Amino acid sequence: MAKVTTSILIATALLATAACSKKRPAVIPPAPSDTAPVDPNAGANGAITPGSRADFERSVTSNTVNFALDSYDIDSPARAILDSQAAWLAKYPNVTVSLEGHCDERGTREYNLALGDRRANSAKNYLAARGVAAGRISTISYGKERPIALGSDEQSLAQNRRAVTIVLN
């Protein structure tokens, strides 16, 4: 009886192991090439397409507005950045953007999501006041979930308190 039980256990183990074996994919991906990746915003000759995300980032002062601690007020440097964004958006009335609100690591998740939302909406309202249709601007808050600077020093924390404008189309 012990021999039958042992044989069943061994057979079960072999079947389980065989079922877990990795199968070869039907199509193997190509090997990496030495060519550079193609920029989706580049035209046929490699030039940046007007009205594209690359054109926006090249043309405006910055795509990022920074904020003071626990603040969502638009200060003078932020106004200058948003004015350059509004001017670019006025040239391309069919372009839509998303404003991302971000915070530093201090505070609870809920507090930072709410503050990030206020920052994104503050930048949206400023752009709307400068003539950009509010329907072209969506907002999202990431709170403290997407820092760009890692570290707990004041310089890192200040970089993470921001609203970022992303061209969607």
pLDDT at 122: 97
More confident residue, 69 or 32: 69
Range of the domain at 135: 53-167
pLDDT mean over 32-42: 52
On the question of pLDDT at 22 being above 60, the answer is no
Q: Does residue 84 sit within a domain?
A: yes
Q: How confident is the model at residue 24 (pLDDT cuts 50, 70, 90)?
A: low
What percent of the chain has pLDDT above 90?
Answer: 69
Q: Does residue 94 sit within a domain?
A: yes
Q: Does residue 42 sit within a domain?
A: no
Q: Does residue 45 sit within a domain?
A: no
Strand order in the sheet with 162-167: 64-66, 162-167, 97-102, 137-143
C-alpha to C-alpha distance for 113 and 142, rounded to whole angstroms: 6
Q: Does residue 66 sit within a domain?
A: yes
Query: For residue 163, what are its two tokens?
Result: 């609203």
Largest CA distance in the chain: 86
Q: How many domains does the chain have?
A: 1
Q: Assign residue 158 the CATH number of its domain.
A: 3.30.1330.60
- Report how far Cα 43 is from the mean position of its chain's Cα atoms: 24
pLDDT at 36: 47
Q: Does residue 114 sit within a domain?
A: yes
Q: Quick one: which of 57, 66, 136 has its CA closest to 101? A: 66
C-alpha to C-alpha distance for 93 and 51, rounded to whole angstroms: 9
Q: Does residue 162 sit within a domain?
A: yes
Q: Does residue 36 sit within a domain?
A: no
| Per-residue pLDDT reduced to its tens digit, 71-118 | 999 999 999 999 999 999 999 999 999 999 999 999 999 999 999 999
* β-pairing verdict for 162-167 and 137-143: unpaired
